[in-house]
């Protein structure tokens, strides 16, 4: 069987439908196939898998201005969507997934407009040191999804108003706001619009030896198995996540992203814990949250539990340093 590029064009602007549809596509992909899913959301804030909604977004402002709230499966930071940007999802089997090749297709599209687009940092595309696209990744069913948004003519003022961005993200970069960090493609190339970008992305991903099929999403919107996914993505439980009192809250920023450890304490024991992060790594933070529950609030006990997680030594090492730095102890080894 030859290689195939299957392009799905969504005509929905509902973030819950679009996220549910993306999840359906992961279960339908075949060998030797690349799926390129192109979609737009109406005004929406989408947070990363391990983020705390209330630390990332001005929820009352969002409600007042009709901005929907959503959570995605991948890591990374909070983003603002509206009809001035184009979202893409690149879906491939794990054994044929190439982050580098996909990035080159994205960069080639923008370079076709005469722009010096480059990959910068963990997951950004920049033009003249201004971010025009961010992306994230996740893996499910042994299938990889690389997705992101490209700013074409987005309302930057509303983006700046609804998102909370920590000052530490800009330390040393001589940058003081979202506005000074991001920019629309329209500011660099006046002829660009979402329709043109959509068509040019399809051309960039259409390699010479590929059969290309472009289709809408009507058939999948009618599938029964999209209903429970739609219910999940639109549920307050999923979007808002577990609500902690945050009796203890530890914050740090590292090369892999920011991190907030929140713990609820009763009689000196951690009864609930959550680790919020914009790291592209998602699963490790769920493991950390789970291992902290039910143990004594003491540096030795916490470090001992963290030592049981035998993966991603850099993240575990940095979190242990954060624990040691932020949790002072008394003579009995109990957190003060």
Kindly report the number of other CB atoms within 10 A of residue 177's CB atom: 12
> Tokens for 216?
């809408």
In a domain, 317, yes or no: yes
Section 128-132 average pLDDT = 95
Is a pLDDT exceeding 90 seen at residue 174? no
Is a pLDDT exceeding 70 seen at residue 318? yes
Statement to judge: residues 278 and 204 lie in one domain: no
Section 134-145 average pLDDT = 93
**Which residues does 238 contact at the CB level (< 8 Å), separation at least 6?**
71, 232
What is the tens place of the pLDDT at every residue in 192-242? 999 999 999 999 999 988 999 999 988 877 888 999 999 999 999 999 987
Statement to judge: residues 154 and 17 lie in one domain: yes
Statement to judge: residues 195 and 278 lie in one domain: no
In what helix (H) or strand (E) does residue 46 lie, and over which residues does it extend?
strand 44-47
CA dist., res. 26 & res. 198, Å (int): 21
> To the nearest whole number, what is the mean pLDDT of the chain?
90
In a domain, 280, yes or no: yes
> Tokens for 288?
């950390």
Backbone φ and ψ of 231, nearest 5°: -60, -40
In a domain, 332, yes or no: no
Section 106-116 average pLDDT = 97
Kindly report the number of other CB atoms within 10 A of residue 289's CB atom: 19
Here the CATH number for the domain that contains residue 255 is 3.30.390.50
Residue with tokens 């030592």, as numbered in its chain: 307
Statement to judge: residues 91 and 134 lie in one domain: yes
pLDDT of 58 reads 96
Last residue of a domain, one of 240, 274, 309: 240
Quote the number of domains for the chain: 2
In a domain, 138, yes or no: yes
SS3 category, 245: coil
Is a pLDDT exceeding 50 seen at residue 332? no
Statement to judge: residues 199 and 105 lie in one domain: yes
Is a pLDDT exceeding 90 seen at residue 315? yes
In a domain, 334, yes or no: no
Statement to judge: residues 223 and 305 lie in one domain: no
Is 0.85 topped by the overall pTM? yes
**Torsion sign (Cα): 68, 156, 190, 205:** negative
Domain extent for 208: 3-240
pLDDT of 166 reads 55
The burial of 114, by beta-carbon neighbours within 10 Å (0-12 exposed, 13-18 middle, 19 or more buried), is given as: exposed
Q: What is the CA radius of gyration of the chain?
A: 21
Last residue of a domain, one of 186, 206, 240: 240
What is the tens place of the pLDDT at every residue in 55-85? 999 999 999 999 999 999 999 999 999 999 9
Last residue of a domain, one of 240, 263, 290: 240
Statement to judge: residues 219 and 308 lie in one domain: no
**Which residues does 19 contact at the CB level (< 8 Å), separation at least 6?**
46, 70, 72, 233
In a domain, 314, yes or no: yes
Here the CATH number for the domain that contains residue 227 is 3.30.930.10
Section 91-110 average pLDDT = 95
In a domain, 254, yes or no: yes
Statement to judge: residues 152 and 96 lie in one domain: yes
pLDDT of 175 reads 35
Nearest alpha-carbon partner for 78 in 229, 277, 212, 273: 277
Statement to judge: residues 140 and 269 lie in one domain: no
Statement to judge: residues 317 and 181 lie in one domain: no
Statement to judge: residues 100 and 172 lie in one domain: yes
Section 86-92 average pLDDT = 98
What is the tens place of the pLDDT at every residue in 230-273? 999 999 999 998 778 889 999 999 999 999 999 999 999 999 99
Statement to judge: residues 154 and 206 lie in one domain: yes
First to last CA, the chain: 64
Pairing state of beta strands 117-120 and 124-127?
A: antiparallel
The burial of 236, by beta-carbon neighbours within 10 Å (0-12 exposed, 13-18 middle, 19 or more buried), is given as: exposed
The answer for 221, left when phi > 0, alpha when psi is -120 to 50, beta otherwise, is: alpha
Q: How far is CA 192 from the centre of its chain?
A: 25
Residue with tokens 């390699």, as numbered in its chain: 207
In a domain, 165, yes or no: yes
Helix runs in 88-225, H state only? 99-111, 156-162, 178-181, 194-205, 218-221
């Amino acid at each position: 069987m030859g290689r195939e590029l299957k392009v799905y064009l969504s005509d929905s602007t509902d973030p819950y439908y679009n996220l549910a549809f993306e999840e359906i596509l992961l279960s339908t992909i075949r060998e030797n196939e690349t799926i390129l899913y192109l979609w737009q959301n109406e005004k929406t804030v989408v947070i990363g898998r391990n983020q705390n909604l209330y630390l990332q977004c001005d929820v009352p402002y969002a409600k007042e201005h009709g901005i929907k709230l959503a959570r995605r499966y991948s890591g990374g930071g909070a983003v603002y969507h509206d009809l001035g940007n184009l979202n893409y999802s690149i879906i491939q089997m794990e054994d044929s997934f190439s982050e580098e090749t996909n990035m080159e297709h994205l960069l080639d599209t923008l370079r076709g407009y005469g722009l010096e687009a480059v990959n910068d940092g963990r997951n950004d595309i920049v033009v003249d040191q201004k971010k025009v696209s961010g992306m994230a990744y996740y893996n499910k069913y042994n299938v990889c999804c690389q997705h992101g948004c490209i700013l074409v003519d987005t309302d930057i003022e509303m983006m700046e108003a609804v998102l909370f961005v920590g000052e530490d993200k800009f330390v040393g970069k001589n940058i003081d706001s979202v506005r000074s960090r991001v920019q629309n493609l329209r500011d660099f190339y006046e002829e660009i619009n979402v329709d043109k970008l959509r068509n040019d992305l399809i051309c960039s991903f259409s390699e010479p030896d590929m059969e290309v099929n472009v289709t809408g999403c009507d058939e999948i919107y009618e599938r029964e198995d999209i209903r429970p996914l739609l219910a999940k993505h639109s549920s307050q439980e999923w979007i808002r996540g577990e609500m902690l009192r945050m009796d203890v809250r530890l914050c740090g920023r590292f090369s892999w992203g920011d991190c907030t450890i929140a713990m609820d304490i009763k009689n000196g024991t951690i009864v609930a814990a959550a680790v919020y992060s914009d790291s592209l790594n998602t699963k490790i933070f769920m493991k950390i949250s789970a291992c902290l529950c039910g143990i004594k609030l003491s540096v030795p006990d916490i470090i001992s539990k963290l030592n049981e997680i035998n993966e991603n030594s850099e993240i575990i090492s940095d979190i242990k340093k954060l624990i040691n730095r932020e949790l002072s102890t008394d003579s009995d080894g109990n957190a003060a």
